[in-house]
Structures are given as structure tokens and as C-alpha cells.
Amino acid sequence: MLRTIEVSIVIFILAVAFVATMFFAVLPSPKQIASPNLRQLALTTLRILDKDEVLSETVFKAPTDLAWTHLEIALSSSLPPNMIYNLTVYDMIETGDITTFREFYSISNTGSGFGTDSEASTYLATSPNVTFTVTPQKISGTLYILNCSDANGWWITGYTGQSLATDLQNLLSPYFNTTVMVQNTTDFESLLDGNEISGNPYENVTNAIVVNSFGEAVPIPSTYADAYSQDSYAEYCYELGKRVNLYNWTWVSIVGYPFYYVSNTVEFSGDHNSWGIYGMIRVGPGGLDSFLKGLDVENNPSYNYANPSITGSPGIVSFTTEAFYYSNYYGLYPSSYQTSTRALPSWIQGTYNTVAMASVFNQVSDRYAAATFKHAGTGAFTAIGLTRTPDVRISALALLMYYQPIIYRSEFSLAEDERPTQRLIVLQLSQQGGS
């Protein structure tokens, strides 16, 4: 009898446990587990209603305007019949850094509220009477981009120097009053000799920026090839450095080991760079050393050849905080992680009398993967020591970080009483029944 009583107690406990489980473990209703994604439905509905900016225009009209009635009808029509909605428009009032939302008007097909099962999407509408403009400050100085048709590039795999030149022009020309494409080595020779080459009255050879879009190769004019051919044209690189110093240029190398090759498809038509690219001759590490000596011509008044390997390979490098900021500021979004195999060491600052500025990447192993080296006198050298294939947005970012042109953002309203210029639209949806 005792065992039976014990078992009965066990059964009672199990029954209580089951009832308790059933009481607390309430399964959700089918509506809850398989409801359409109302948030996305609300968002897509708002977008459909804003076709041809109809919604944006309507929410800036007075609540008595007929457009609100049309909006209400369109909203009711476009949603399934079991859907209840509430569309509320808020004024956005900005006071300093604080934005206050004040309800402007609301339309709804329910007076009893939504209960707990509702979703909402928001949509920002700008008054049709408002115009936003973005005007970049112009960097003083002419932008020259080497686009020489008689030169080949190296370490720009998948691109040509000419295509990169076009990309660079698109990226950078808004920040300059004058952009000049150097179309061939003859024009480049004229430029090196201090002559203006475009006929543009605003072109100025001094204080210019010269971007070499040919990667590790640099175009060489025929007369310069004849005159400065020592040490596999390292002497030419020295002359380039001198010109950068003389005209106070900023020379930009977009990828790899700068001045490693010189290129002229006519002059070197029978030569190749030892990798099968004709029209190009290998200079080697001495090219960069010679250029930097030319840049620091005050301490290196005459050409003196050496062949030190300057660059190093720090591997993966990441954006500096400053680079993140300017990436957002200028709207340039290359990957913040890059691989560097041709980074310049910090010791070149002392050796060649330069100062590293506007570093795009954090230093790794005491090396700068992308930075501008400003000479103590005149001239500067922006070196992007990343591995191929080049992302010219890095070059553009490095240059813009160095010059830091201001972006002027303007907002114009036709009439003061049109303010606020933005209104927030919130569409809340819920389904009737099914619970």
C-alpha cells in the first residue's frame, strides 16, 4: 500500500510539472512566427509612394492640402486590407548639435492603437525647395597627371598608365583649379624645362603637384634619356628630384618601388625591363636614392650614384585615425587594411632632409607605407609603398590628407518659412486578426 501511495505522489508531481510547463511554455501564435516582415513592407511602401518625390513634396504641404488626402488613399490602397497603419511626420529642428523631433501631422486607419505587434520604418524627406551643394576648396597649384601615350607602366597590373591617369583626374580634379594631363614625353620634357604646356592661363609650373600614374616606371623624354643616362638612368632620377626641388613640386608615386624603371616606347623600343615589357629599362634601387638626393640638392649639389635598397616589406598595414577621418571627410573608401612591400623607412627623413607628414597607415617596423615626405627646403614626395595592384584612391587620399582642402557644404532654401528643411516620416504597420 505504501508503494502505491508513493507512486501516486510521483504521478501527482509529474502532473503538476506538466501543468506548470503547459502554463508557462505558451507557444507563440502563427501570426507571430510567420508574419510578413512589416518593417521592410513599410520601407518599400514609403519608397513606392515617394516615386517622383511625391511623398517628399506632400509632407511639406499644409495638412489641409488635398495632397494629404491623396497620400492617405494611396497608402490605404497599396497595403493589404488587413493592415492597419499610422504614418506620422515629424519636424526636425536642429539647435546646435541637438536635433528635436516635433510631430507635424499624422494619418492613420485605426483609432484604437496597435497593441504590441507592430513594426515601423522611417524615411527622411527633404523639402523640394532646398538645394544642397558641396564645394571643395581649391588647392593652390596646378595638378599635372602623367598620361604619356609613349610610355608603359609597371606594377599596375590590370591597368594602363593612361586609364589610371583618367581615374586620378576624376578623383582629384574637383580639388584643383587647373588640371593638366601630360599627354606624351615631349610635353613632359617641356614641363621639366619649366614651360607651361596646356595654354590654360591658370596653369602654373611652380608649386604644382605631379602624379606619376605609371607605377614603378617613370616616363623619360628622349632628350633627357640622351643627356642623363648614367647608371641605367639613375642620373635622370636625380634630375627629376632636382626639378621637384626647383619648382617646389609634390611628386606622387602611386604604387611600388618609385623610379625603379624608366619608360619611353620610342627611345627604348628594343629594350625591355627584364620582365618582357618593352619600351622600358630597369634602373633599380638607385633610382629612388638618386631622386631623393636630387630633392635634397642643397646637400647633394652634384650627381653621386649609389645603389642602396631603401624600401622594406612591413606586410599588412592599417589606416591611421587621421586617415579614417579624412576617408569619411572626402568620401574615399579604399580598404583600411592594405599590404605594403615597398614602404619607405623613417631614416630617410634624416638622410635626405625630409619630414614625413600625413601618413595614411600606422607605422610598422619603423616604416611608412604611404606618406608625404616634405623636404626642409622646397618640394615634397608622396610615396605609396603598397604592393600591386594599385588602388588610386589611396594616392588621392594621401594627397588630400597632405593638403587638407576644406569641403564647403551649403544648404539653400528659397524661403525662410520653408524651414525646417527636413522631415522624418515614420510608417508603423500592424496586422489585424490572426492572433
Partner 1 sequence: MTGVTIDHMVATMTFIAAILLFTGLFAQTMEAAIMYQQNRHIAIKAGDLLDSILLTPGYPYNWGETNDTLSCFGLQQPGAAGYTLSSFALMRLMSLSERVEYPRDSGKWYNNITLGPNGFLFLPVGDSIEYDTASRLMGVNGTYGFQLSITPIVEVSITEYQSNPLVLRIEVNGPGSSLSGATLEYYLYKANKKMELELFSGTAQTDSIGVGYLNLPLNGETDTYTILVYASLGGLIGLGRYTHFIFTQGDGVMPFVVDYAAGKVYLAHSWDVQDQGTPVPNYAYNATFYIMTETGSFQEWPIANSTGGLNYGSKNYAITTLPVGYSGFMLVTYENGGQVGMSIMPWGIGSIAVSTLFGDNPFGNVWTSTDLRQVSIDQLSYQARIICWSLQGYQIMNPTGWF
Which residues are near partner 1 by CB under 8 A?
1-4, 6-8, 10-11, 14-15, 18, 21-22, 25, 27-28, 30, 33-37, 40-41, 44-45, 47-52, 54-55, 58, 66-67, 69-81, 83
* Calpha distance 398→402 (Å, rounded): 6
Minimum CB distance to partner 1 smaller for 127 or for 300: 127
CB atoms within 10 A of CB 342: 26
CB 395 within 8 A of CB 168: yes
Minimum CB distance to partner 1 smaller for 84 or for 394: 84
Q: Kindly state the DSSP code that residue 420 receives in the 8-state scheme.
A: -
Give me 171's grid cell. Answer: 578623383
Query: In a 3-state reduction of DSSP, which class is residue 154?
Result: strand
Residues near 392 by beta carbon (within 8 Å), at least 6 away in sequence: 164, 167, 168, 171, 213, 254
Beta strands at 370-375 and 380-384: parallel, antiparallel or unpaired: antiparallel
Closest distance to partner 1 from the beta carbon of 36 (Å): 5
Q: Which residues pair with 374 in a beta bridge?
A: 355, 380
**Three-class SS string for 123-144?**
EEEECCCEEEEEEECCECCCEE
Minimum CB distance to partner 1 smaller for 32 or for 195: 32
Minimum CB distance to partner 1 smaller for 34 or for 98: 34
Closest distance to partner 1 from the beta carbon of 180 (Å): 32
Minimum CB distance to partner 1 smaller for 33 or for 406: 33
Minimum CB distance to partner 1 smaller for 8 or for 299: 8
Minimum CB distance to partner 1 smaller for 13 or for 306: 13
Closest distance to partner 1 from the beta carbon of 173 (Å): 24
Minimum CB distance to partner 1 smaller for 74 or for 246: 74
Closest to 92 measured CA to CA, from 126, 140, 130: 126
Longest dimension (CA), the chain: 119
* Calpha distance 37→372 (Å, rounded): 51
Order across the sheet with 98-108: list the strands. 98-108, 83-95, 422-431, 119-126
Give me 81's grid cell. Answer: 486590407
* Calpha distance 102→105 (Å, rounded): 9
Closest distance to partner 1 from the beta carbon of 435 (Å): 15
Closest distance to partner 1 from the beta carbon of 289 (Å): 48
Closest distance to partner 1 from the beta carbon of 432 (Å): 12
Minimum CB distance to partner 1 smaller for 46 or for 218: 46
Element (H, E) at 143: strand 143-146
Closest distance to partner 1 from the beta carbon of 108 (Å): 13
Helix and strand counts by DSSP (H, E) for the chain = 13, 20
Closest distance to partner 1 from the beta carbon of 13 (Å): 10
Q: For the chain, how big is the Rg over CA atoms in Å?
A: 33
Closest distance to partner 1 from the beta carbon of 15 (Å): 8
Would you report the helix, strand and coil content of the chain in percent, each value rounded to 5?
Answer: 35, 30, 40
